[in-house]
């Protein structure tokens, strides 16, 4: 497939399921799952052989996750299995982390120094920027496979090929997902070796906006937004300390869109961080994000409802951006930089050089070579580009929607797209 090829998803409103998708939905209907605190924690204990979850405050949040998911009447059997799988995985990861910390309390003495942290809207270039900078091997990053299972399973050794069993499992899962939903990689490729968000680590404390991406959970959203997230950010930092203790180097490149609405807790947790905020026309961001979500809903939910997806995420993006505008000035100028999407797309490396200058990181010849190699191996749109149509697919007029975000355009010199 040519990287220049444009792909139009014509069946968002009335999905034409492939035989694989139809079979998966039918099979899932025969495998009901219980989503409750007791069921999740029991399965995690059974999976790991461990029982100490650490501080119990996470249980209230777990109960709210389960309640919110169970209230989502439109979530189909495949969606419920997926949520159940993720929640059990988070609980098991927490058990393994607490066990490692108990056996090696020196982990808490590990220093995370001057991380570079990217904050920006989903679909605003954050993933490309993260993976580009992570190509510089002087920095520690979190690959997707490692984010899914951050703590090695005790006694589990690499195979004869030297590959971590966690990576093997992630590759198998990726191949299955690609067969099931082949266009996901065109919108947001989650290849096992690609660098991912530390938000996966926050899920060990059952506090992040991650749940909103896989279920319709207004109860959880409202609770999450009303709570001070500083303690959960501190928990995530402890998991990063463990990962750094397991394998260096000791300077991190991190990223999550969620940080845009949590700049206060982020800075409290990483007071010496260099914080990079990416900015893009919210209309383009929303078009991309809700198309991706609606495409996934054909397998995840009982029925697709693209206009409802648009309504939820337009409001959610507005909440996120209003928090960013409110809190932007909390970040010291000597530690923060705003990156405009059109400037980043025009010259990726120049933007990275600006970030490095602010972070006090020299752009060496070796580092430049690693960044160039990544760019050559990962051209934009290498899987083909998705063509988005807000009006046709979601009944949303782009111009009218853009006006809703005047407050954001007034604060940052973002270029309107289309």
Q: For position 384, what pLDDT does the model report?
A: 65
Kindly report the pTM of this predicted structure: 0.95
Q: Write the pLDDT tens digit of every residue in 279-329.
A: 999 999 999 999 999 999 999 999 999 999 999 999 999 999 999 999 999
Q: For position 1, what pLDDT does the model report?
A: 35
Of 146, 151, 147, the residue nearest 47 (C-alpha) = 151
Q: For position 281, what pLDDT does the model report?
A: 96
pLDDT average, residue stretch 267-283: 97
Q: For position 4, what pLDDT does the model report?
A: 53
Per the omega criterion (within 30 degrees of 0), is the bond before 135 cis? no
Which spans in 257-388 are helix H?
Answer: 263-269, 282-300, 306-327, 341-346, 348-359, 365-377
Are β-strands 385-387 and 6-8 bridged in parallel, bridged antiparallel, or unpaired?
parallel
Question: How far apart are the C-alpha atoms of 232 and 229, rounded to whole Å?
Answer: 5
pLDDT average, residue stretch 99-111: 98
pLDDT at 3 over 50: no
pLDDT average, residue stretch 264-275: 98
The domain 6-411 having CATH identifier 2.60.40.650: the answer here is no
Q: Write the pLDDT tens digit of every residue in 38-96.
A: 999 999 999 999 999 999 999 999 999 999 999 999 999 999 999 999 999 999 999 99
Question: How far apart are the C-alpha atoms of 50 and 65, rounded to whole Å?
Answer: 22
Place of tokens 């510089």: 136
Question: How far apart are the C-alpha atoms of 392 and 171, rounded to whole Å?
Answer: 35
pLDDT average, residue stretch 1-15: 78
Q: For position 418, what pLDDT does the model report?
A: 75
- By the 8 A CB rule, do 44 and 99 touch? no
Are β-strands 274-279 and 385-387 bridged in parallel, bridged antiparallel, or unpaired?
unpaired
Of 72, 93, 94, the residue nearest 83 (C-alpha) = 72
pLDDT average, residue stretch 359-370: 97
Please give the backbone phi and psi of residue 92, each rounded to the nearest 5 degrees, phi first: -65, -40
What residue ranges do the domains of the chain occupy?
6-411
Question: How far apart are the C-alpha atoms of 229 and 59, rounded to whole Å?
Answer: 15
- By the 8 A CB rule, do 243 and 103 touch? no
Instruction: Give the least confident one: 107-111, 157-161, 275-279, 383-387.
Output: 383-387
pLDDT at 149 over 90: yes
Please give the structure tokens belonging to residue 86. Answer: 């993720």
pLDDT at 204 over 80: yes
Q: Write the pLDDT tens digit of every residue in 340-362.
A: 999 999 999 999 999 999 999 99
């Amino acid at each position: 497939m040519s990287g220049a090829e444009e792909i139009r998803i014509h069946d968002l409103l009335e999905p034409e399921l492939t035989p694989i998708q139809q079979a998966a939905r039918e099979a899932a209907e025969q495998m009901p799952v219980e989503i409750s605190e007791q069921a999740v924690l029991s399965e995690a204990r059974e999976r790991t052989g461990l029982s100490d979850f650490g501080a119990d405050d996470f249980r209230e949040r777990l109960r709210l996750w389960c309640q919110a998911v169970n209230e989502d009447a439109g979530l189909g059997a495949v969606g419920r299995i997926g949520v159940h799988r993720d929640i059990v995985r988070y609980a098991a990861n927490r058990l393994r982390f607490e066990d490692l910390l108990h056996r090696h309390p020196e982990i808490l003495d590990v220093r995370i120094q001057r991380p570079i942290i990217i904050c920006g809207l989903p679909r605003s270039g954050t993933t490309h920027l993260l993976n580009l900078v992570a190509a510089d091997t002087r920095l520690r990053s979190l690959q997707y496979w490692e984010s899914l299972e951050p703590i090695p399973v005790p006694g589990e050794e690499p195979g004869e090929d030297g590959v971590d069993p966690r990576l093997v499992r992630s590759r198998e899962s990726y191949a299955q997902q690609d067969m099931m939903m082949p266009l996901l990689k065109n919108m947001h490729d989650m290849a096992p070796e690609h660098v991912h968000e530390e938000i996966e680590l926050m899920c060990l404390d059952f506090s992040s906006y991650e749940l909103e991406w896989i279920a319709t959970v207004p109860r959880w959203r409202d609770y999450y937004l009303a709570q001070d997230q500083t303690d959960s950010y501190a928990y995530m930092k402890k998991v990063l300390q463990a990962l750094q203790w397991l394998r260096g180097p000791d300077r991190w490149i991190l990223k999550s869109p969620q940080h845009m609405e949590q700049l206060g807790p982020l800075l409290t947790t990483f007071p010496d961080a260099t914080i990079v905020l990416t900015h893009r026309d919210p209309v383009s961001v929303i078009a991309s994000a809700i198309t991706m979500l609606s495409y996934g809903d054909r397998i995840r939910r009982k029925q697709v409802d693209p206009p409802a997806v648009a309504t939820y995420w337009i409001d959610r993006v507005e909440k996120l951006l209003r928090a960013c505008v409110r809190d932007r000035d909390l970040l010291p100028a000597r530690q923060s930089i705003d990156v405009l999407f059109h400037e980043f797309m025009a010259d990726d490396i120049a933007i990275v050089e600006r970030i490095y200058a602010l972070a006090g990181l020299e752009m060496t010849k070796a580092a430049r070579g690693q960044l160039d190699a990544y760019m050559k191996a990962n051209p934009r749109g290498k899987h083909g580009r998705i063509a988005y149509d807000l009006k046709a697919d979601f009944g949303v007029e782009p111009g009218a929607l853009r006006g809703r975000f005047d407050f954001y355009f007034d604060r940052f010199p973002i270029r309107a797209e289309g």
